[in-house]
Amino acid sequence: MLNTKLLRQLSLSALGGLLLLATSGHGQDDGQDDTTTRRVSGPIKPAVAPGKVEVAPGYFLFPIAPGQPGFLAASMGELRPNHFHGGLDIKTGGGVNKPVYAAADGYISRLKQSAFGYGNVLYITHPNGLTTVYGHLNKFEGAVAAELLHRQYEKQTYELELFFQPGQFPVKRGEQVALSGNTGGSAGPHVHWEVRDAQDRQLNPLQWGGFAEIQDHTGPTLQALAVEPLAITARVRGRFERAVLVPRLQPLPGANTVWPDTVRCFGQVGLLLQGFDRFDNAWNKNGIQRVTVRVNGQPHYQHIIDAVPFPNGTRQVNNFVDYAYAHTSGRTLQKLWVEDGDDLPFYTPAGLGQGKLDVQDGQVYRIDFELADSYNNKATAHLVLRGEKPTDYAKLPGAAAPGRSKLTYDITRNLLRATALNAPTDTAGQPQYLLLRRGGRQLALRPSYSVGAATTYLYDLRAGLPDSLLLGSLHQAFDRQVMIAPGQETNYATPYVNVAFGSQTLFSNLYLSTVHRADASPLAPESWTVGTALVPLYLPLRLTLKPASPPADHARTAIYSVSANGGRAYVGGTWNEAGTQISANLKQFGQFRLYTDTKAPSAQLVGRAGGQLTFRVGDDMSGLATYKLLVGGRFRLLRYEYKNATLFTVAGDTLGPKLRGPAELHLADQAGNEKVIPLSL
């Protein structure tokens, strides 16, 4: 039920001032900050993760060209799509087959060959309990490579993962274990190198003193700051909107950036930041390791990205940043507070607080930011906030918008934010109340503020979901059907879809919309839209589609996600015994259709360089699933490179048959379509 008393508390606002941006000078600042509600004296100390292993400087050898100048393509903790970067990307001069050396004594505990992810990857476990990981390799070396080849022929597959006991394949510090490559999800030749602990957390290899091979005297670069209202009564510059503060000229690395004008705000607000770091003599942009904030000279917030839980914890990057803003603006802002659902081990010390700032009327808050990399190079920024209590309704300056009236809404932080363009007015010339309807009841919601011709109304959806919004003659249906809370297993079903949420699917409350259309396209006559792609998922949900007209060919019909430009990606799915519904796990909301794939994959022999074979392969829908080359009826190992859609034999293969005489290339796609291509070698 909608609550009138609550609504009267949901429409406060405040005036905001204009802001000019400037930067001044170069310098460093050791300052850190605190909220007005909790003050902690003294410096913030780095976090020590539970069970963290201390490593003496120099324990690990740099695994590529040790003792020579080296360069990194990526640092630990960079903000990537759907994950934190979990180690160091070491450049290999743009080429492959560079020697890769064991970073310390230990034994090869695991290796994997795959066309995706880390590609060919090697794991070495060390006496101190840590494991080093070497990814995107081209070739393994030594006895373990022979063991892998033997097992591949035994299983008749290239894609294979093996685990080993401590005594099987010991290695010494500095021993060559592999050759570098460009396999898996690599976007260019390099070695991805990690250090992991016994809990499989990805640790920052630079935290134990760095490496002489990697020189870094360059401080981070600030790109933007932002202030965001976090509660319904909060305002930034008089509005319930984020203020993004971008310098007219980007500061130099390590600069001290100062905004001389005051940002007026009120209530609970959060600070955000965008920036990057660089190593010496390298132009690629890397992540910022440490961000520290002080408020009025007192510690307020700090995160240090030195340990990322793997594999699930790394997806919390979508909660660590403003996910929706990154996907709509192209600007990735990292939150400088601990968001709901965030249990990352980045924040220190534990008793400092959550990073949210309560701005009181008439109070001034001097904010100092410090950005630092793993070599302790720094950049600083300074911002001043001033508390200004909002009035019940404020009319702020803004542009006129001649034309018809229009009513729209969006949802952020449990709040419905409705915006009326040229809202109808009452007899006093004020915008009329917005009516929220549910069933036979309605609730009058007064305006919070107007900016020019646009009037904003705010409502906390936790008080109940409306069916529609009405403002004068303007009517807008409310399309969210249910609120799904995080932390529990929940099912939501309609005649056309079922969405099953696990206890760790969501970061925060979700206001879910599902839409079924029966006229999508001739090839896929039905479509389902589930949620919005601007809301991230932590762990997958289970989606079940119930088509009104089930397909005739269930075996070759699967779920595909459909992009706004018409592109489609295979999701898969399993049909029930009755053939009336299909289910699959989803990592992202979006639009989905059912397509039937009846066309087998294709391949063409395009090369015989060095006596080896290279095939160009393709599949127009579901994608290649399996492949096998038989020469004279005997299995011959093939590698698959999805980045250029090729299959190729492996030089140095001593177990397979010679590439002579009659042969067959067997292909199958994910829909089960098979093709056999005869060859004469």
- SS3 string, 280-308, reads CCCCCCECCCEEEEEECCEEEEEEECCEE
Percent of the chain with pLDDT over 70: 92
With 0-12 / 13-18 / 19 or more C-beta atoms within 10 angstroms meaning exposed / middle / buried, residue 635 is middle
Structure-token pair, residue 344: 């990352």
- Kindly state the percentage of the chain with pLDDT values over 90: 80
Share the mean pLDDT of the chain.
89
Residue 451 in this model has a pLDDT that exceeds 90: yes
Do 647 and 658 meet the contact criterion of CB atoms below 8 Å apart? no
Q: How many residues does the chain have?
A: 681
**Residue 607 CA neighbour count, 13 Å, CB half:** 11
* Residue 380 pLDDT > 60: yes
Distance CA(117)–CA(112), nearest Å, equals 10
Res. 218: pLDDT tops 50: yes
Tell me the average pLDDT across 306-315.
Answer: 91
Query: Predicted confidence band at 289 (pLDDT cuts at 50, 70, 90)?
Result: very high
Question: Per the structure block, which two tokens stand in for 119?
Answer: 């590609």
Asked whether the predicted pLDDT for residue 17 surpasses 80, the reply is no
Q: Is the pLDDT of residue 143 over 90?
A: yes
- What local confidence, expressed as pLDDT, does residue 184 receive? 93
3-state helix vs strand vs coil in the chain, percent to 5: 5, 45, 50
Q: What is the pLDDT of residues 147-169, one digit of tens each?
A: 999 999 999 999 999 999 998 99
- Digit-coded pLDDT (tens) for 603-619: 999 999 888 999 999 99
Work out whether strand 256-276 and strand 378-387 pair parallel, antiparallel, or are unpaired: parallel
Segment (H or E) for 45: none
Query: What is residue 248's predicted lDDT score, i.e. its pLDDT?
Result: 86
pLDDT band at 46 (very low <50, low <70, confident <90, very high): very low
- In this prediction, residue 428 has a pLDDT band, given cuts at 50, 70 and 90, of confident
Task: Look at residue 680 in the predicted model and tell me its pLDDT.
Answer: 93
Residue 14 pLDDT level (bands cut at 50, 70, 90): very low
Asked whether 229 and 240 are in contact (CB, 8 A), the reply is: yes
pLDDT one-digit tens code per residue, 633-679:
999 999 999 999 999 998 889 899 999 999 999 999 999 999 999 99
Q: Would the pLDDT of 12 be above 50?
A: no
Mean pLDDT of 461-478: 96
DSSP three-state, residue 368: strand
663: left (phi over 0), alpha (psi -120 to 50) or beta: beta
Total-model pTM: 0.88
Where is average pLDDT lowest: 28-32, 148-152, 243-247, 577-581? 28-32
